[in-house]
């Protein structure tokens, strides 16, 4: 990965990823089967599935507004209305972001609508990511939209039901990225040793070990992935990358936007601010953060 703008510091810098990550839908197969719900292929079908679950007395979405899950869902909804130009403007400062435009207005109003309809509990304002994840593990909620980093944990901890995954229906892009980057500082004293270490992590056998253990390797041979559930995880990531569907994460544009986004969505869920007012506040905070980066010496 190459950053031509040098946002992290002066000049250009390069990084080598050895794994990827992305956000997808985890679902309780048993609860879906009980309500005769097929895997949705469009967002309308996804909403219909949530309505069917709610009508049966089940709150569909395991959520957290105190940490990242709800923010990622919010961003996914914006991506459903956006394109690569929207992502480039939002993430790379290529152009102005319209916080009352079709992408972000849709995302915020839809979250509010889903709260009002009972698809998301209002008490998620104080819930953390761990709370949302463990509530899915316990079988309380049938749907959890979150990152591939949960995959191996669900594989080892879910005991009482069958579960599966699918990419968010109807979307071309989803939140995601390459994982942590291997970088070698220009002033490093043992560069050759660092290069050898990076090479080791990229070897086919190491990449296969990562893939078969619930990770998302970026350089594994497909034939080396022998665990069926791991193959699905990697195939979904491959689907995203082949269609230029990796859209980074909603809090990446500024150092403070993670907390600001969480706070705004908490106000939205508990009803202290309207969707329009939340977007106005987020837009101001976002632009202030971007300006401090772009204009920084």
Query: Which pLDDT value is given to residue 130?
Result: 98
Query: Which pLDDT value is given to residue 6?
Result: 46
Query: Which pLDDT value is given to residue 148?
Result: 95
Q: What is residue 149's DSSP assignment?
A: G
Query: Which pLDDT value is given to residue 219?
Result: 87
Q: Is the pLDDT of residue 1 over 50?
A: no
Which tens digits make up the pLDDT trace of 153-166? 999 999 999 999 99
Q: How confident is the model at residue 2 (pLDDT cuts 50, 70, 90)?
A: very low
Quick one: which of 43, 66, 65 has its CA closest to 174? 43
Q: Is the pLDDT of residue 193 over 50?
A: yes
Q: What is residue 167's DSSP assignment?
A: P
In CATH terms, the superfamily for domain 20-177+247-280 is Periplasmic binding protein-like II (3.40.190.10)
Q: Is the pLDDT of residue 70 over 90?
A: yes
User: For the whole model, what pTM was predicted?
Assistant: 0.92
**What residue ranges of the chain are covered by domains with CATH 3.40.190.10?**
20-177+247-280
Cβ–Cβ < 8 Å for 17, 179: yes
Query: Which pLDDT value is given to residue 57?
Result: 97
Q: For the chain, first and last CA: distance in Å?
A: 24
DSSP states along 28-72: EHHHHHHTT-PPPSSHHHHHHHHHHHHHTT---EE--SSSHHHHH
Which tens digits make up the pLDDT trace of 207-252? 999 999 889 998 888 899 998 888 999 999 999 999 999 999 999 9
Which tens digits make up the pLDDT trace of 85-113? 999 999 999 999 999 999 999 999 999 99
Please say whether the dihedral angle defined by the alpha carbons of residues 162, 168, 172 and 173, taken in this order, is positive or negative. Answer: negative
Which tens digits make up the pLDDT trace of 42-67? 999 999 999 999 999 999 999 999 99
Q: What count of residues does the chain have?
A: 297
Q: How confident is the model at residue 8 (pLDDT cuts 50, 70, 90)?
A: very low
Report the mean per-residue pLDDT for the chain.
Answer: 93
Classify burial at 205, counting beta carbons within 10 Å of its beta carbon; exposed 0-12, middle 13-18, buried 19 or more: exposed
What is d(CA 261, CA 267) in angstroms, rounded to the nearest whole number? 10
């Amino acid at each position: 990965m190459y950053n031509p703008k040098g946002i992290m510091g002066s000049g250009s810098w390069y990084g080598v990823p050895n794994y990827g990550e992305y956000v997808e839908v985890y679902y309780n197969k048993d609860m879906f089967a009980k309500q005769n719900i097929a895997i949705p292929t469009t967002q309308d079908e996804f909403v219909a599935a949530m309505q069917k679950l709610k009508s049966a007395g089940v709150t569909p979405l395991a959520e957290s507004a105190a940490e990242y899950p709800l923010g990622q869902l919010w961003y996914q909804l914006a991506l459903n209305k956006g394109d690569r130009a929207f992502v480039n403007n939002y993430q790379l400062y290529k152009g102005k972001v319209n916080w009352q435009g079709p992408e972000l207005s849709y995302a915020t109003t839809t979250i509010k609508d889903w709260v009002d309809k009972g698809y998301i509990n209002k008490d998620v304002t104080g819930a953390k990511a761990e709370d949302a994840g463990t509530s899915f593990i316990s079988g309380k909620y049938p749907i959890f939209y979150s990152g591939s980093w949960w995959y191996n944990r669900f594989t080892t901890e879910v005991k009482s039901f069958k579960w599966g995954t699918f990419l968010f229906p109807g979307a071309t892009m989803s939140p995601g990225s390459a994982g942590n980057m291997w970088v070698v500082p220009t002033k490093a004293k043992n560069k050759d040793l660092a290069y050898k270490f990076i090479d080791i992590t990229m070897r086919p056998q190491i990449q296969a070990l990562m893939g078969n253990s619930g990770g998302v390797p970026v350089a594994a041979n497909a034939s080396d992935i022998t665990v069926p559930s791991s193959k699905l995880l990697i195939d979904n990531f491959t689907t995203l990358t082949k269609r230029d569907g990796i859209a980074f994460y909603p809090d990446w544009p500024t150092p403070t936007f993670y907390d600001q986004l969480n706070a705004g969505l908490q106000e939205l869920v508990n009803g202290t601010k309207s969707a329009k007012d939340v977007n106005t506040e987020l837009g101001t905070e976002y632009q202030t953060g971007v300006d401090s980066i772009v204009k920084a010496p």
